[in-house]
Amino acid sequence: MLLLAIETSCDETSAAIVRDGVVLANVVSSQIQLHAEYGGVVPELATREHLRNFLPVARAALREAHVTPAELDAVAATRGPGLPNALMIGFKAAQAAAFALRRPFLGVHHHEAHLYSPWVSSGPSGLRADFAAFEPNVSLIVSGGHTMLVHVRAEFDHTVLGSTLDDAAGECFDKTAKLIGLPYPGGPEMDRLAARGNPRAFDFPRPLLREENNDFSFAGLKTSVRYFLQKNPALLDDAQKLRDLCASVQAAIVETLVTKTLRAAKRLRVRCLTASGGVTCNSALRRDLASACEQARLKLRLAERPLCTDNAAMVGILTERKLLRSPAGTDLDAEIEPGWDLAQAR
Ligand code: KG4
Ligand code: ZN
């Protein structure tokens, strides 16, 4: 089965070509630079940029995979959740392509696609899904827009255990980085500075860490950094103290994510953890999840860094699994679902 998959739910325009579990192309055009001067994603600018980039990105994916549109067996796109107009560009353009080619079309859930990225690995022949190794797992999806834990009992059988009650972890990285004066997106920059900082230099709250639920809350942490900086304004002029601050904030976020994810896995007696989303690029999160899983004798599958952030490869892999189960692909007349609940995505 040869598929074209499209992802435009936020600020990445992406197209992928997938055949039989192999990603033949995964082209991602990121808008990070465009939104940087505003300190966050501006929906109207994202929409215009998707419009501008959609065709070049889709053409590049076809070219890279040496595939012509007529050879495609099906087309898919992210249907939601996401920014309404951003979703609309990719979803409607992909539907139009499927209609013109007379091929099945499927609209998939963005978070369900994220559940698949940890199962894609690079090897000598490129990116390939590895479902022989599939195990029931607890999956952490953590990015600028979402922070959630999902219990994946089997493929297509999953339940959201909990999610953030306010800011996402990536949003907390970005907003605290802005307070410190770092450029957007702040997460990668905090990660870089934290590498040479002392994570125990300053004590920040670990929100909801003691609560026996699977929810997160990061807005309070951001506020406590704001108050801390109001009391210690000179700290920003000291390069080492600034690195210590980044390391301390990062430690609070990472400890919260790692502890709650491990606790959920233990409670559900699941032997495997997976993680994806932009914040999964964070070095401390990768390192601490790895050591916690080793100690608890849990298997860990982290999405490879390029597949942590939004991409169409994960959309293509999920779509292929869905079409193998039920080949119809019936979403040609469907509409986008900007607020789609994962529980409704079957
Ligand atoms: O998945 P993604 O591209 O899209 C969404 O925003 O949903 O994730 C982007 C987020 C941003 O908040 C960014 O700061 C964060 O992921 N991020 C990181 C790192 N790399 C990206 N956060 C911490 N450390 C990183 N190395
Ligand atoms: Zn995402």
pLDDT by residue (tens digit) across 37-89?
A: 888 899 999 999 999 999 999 999 999 999 999 999 999 999 999 999 999 99
Nearest CA to ligand 1 atom 16: 278
Q: Which residue has the higher pLDDT, 239 or 39?
A: 239
Q: Indicate if the pLDDT at residue 207 is higher than 90.
A: no
pTM flag (> 0.85): yes
CA of 309 to the centre of ligand 2 (A): 6
Alpha carbon of 236 to those of 177, 181, 204, 244: distances in Å?
A: 12, 9, 17, 11
Among candidate residues 282, 152, 143, 147, the one with its CA nearest the CA of residue 207:
147
User: Residues with beta carbon inside 6 Å of ligand 1?
Assistant: 10, 143-145, 170, 173-174, 185-188, 191, 277-279, 281-282, 309-310
Distance from the CA of 114 to the center of ligand 1, in angstroms? Answer: 14
How many A from CA of 170 to the centre of ligand 1? 5
Tell me the two tokens of residue 277.
Answer: 């989303």
Q: What percent of the chain has pLDDT over 90?
A: 91
Given a contact cutoff of 8 angstroms between Cβ atoms, the answer to whether 337 and 83 are in contact is: no
Residue-wise pLDDT for 138-152, tens only, equals 999 999 999 999 999
Strands (E), the chain: 2-7, 12-19, 22-30, 74-80, 105-109, 120-123, 126-129, 137-142, 147-154, 157-163, 272-276, 299-302
Q: What is the pLDDT of residues 100-118, one digit of tens each?
A: 999 999 999 999 999 999 9
C-beta neighbour count of 104 within 10 angstroms: 19
Q: pLDDT value at position 111?
A: 98
pLDDT at 345: 86
Predicted pLDDT at 124: 86
| pLDDT tens profile 220-233 | 999 999 999 999 99
Compute CA 344 distance to the chain's CA centroid, rounded to the nearest angstrom.
19
Closest ligand, as measured to the CA of 146: 1
Longest dimension (CA), the chain: 64
Centre of ligand 1 to C-alpha 140, Å, is 14
Average pLDDT of the chain, as a whole number: 96
Which of 173, 174, 190, 288 to mutate for ligand 1's pocket (most ligand atoms within 8 Å of CB)? Answer: 173
Specify the pLDDT at position 329: 74
What's the confidence (pLDDT) of residue 248? 98
pLDDT tens digit sequence for 281-339: 999 999 999 999 999 999 999 999 999 999 999 999 999 999 999 888 789 999 999 99
pLDDT for the residue numbered 245: 98
Query: Please, what are the domains in the chain?
Result: 2-130+309-344 (3.30.420.40), 136-270 (3.30.420.40)
Examine the pLDDT at 273 and tell me if it is beyond 80.
yes
32 versus 81: the higher-pLDDT residue is 81
Coil, helix or strand at residue 153: strand
Per-residue model confidence (pLDDT) at position 30: 93
Please give the Cα distance from 88 to 99 (Å, whole number).
16
Could you give the percent of the chain with pLDDT greater than 70?
100
| pLDDT reported for residue 182 | 94
Give yes or no for residue 1 having a pLDDT over 80.
Answer: yes
Output the pLDDT for position 45.
95
Report how far ligand 1's centroid is from the alpha carbon of 73 (Å): 33
Whole-number Å distance, alpha carbon 190 to ligand 1 midpoint, is 11
Which of 9, 142, 143 has the most ligand 1 atoms within 8 A of CB, as the residue to mutate?
143
Mean pLDDT, residues 108-135: 94
Which atom belonging to ligand 1 lies closest to the Cα atom of 143?
Answer: 8
Q: What is the DSSP letter of 156?
A: T
3 state SS of 54: helix
The mean pLDDT value for 174-199 works out to 96
Q: How much is the pLDDT for 312?
A: 98
- Among 281, 305, 307, residue to substitute to test ligand 1 (most atoms within 8 Å of Cβ): 281
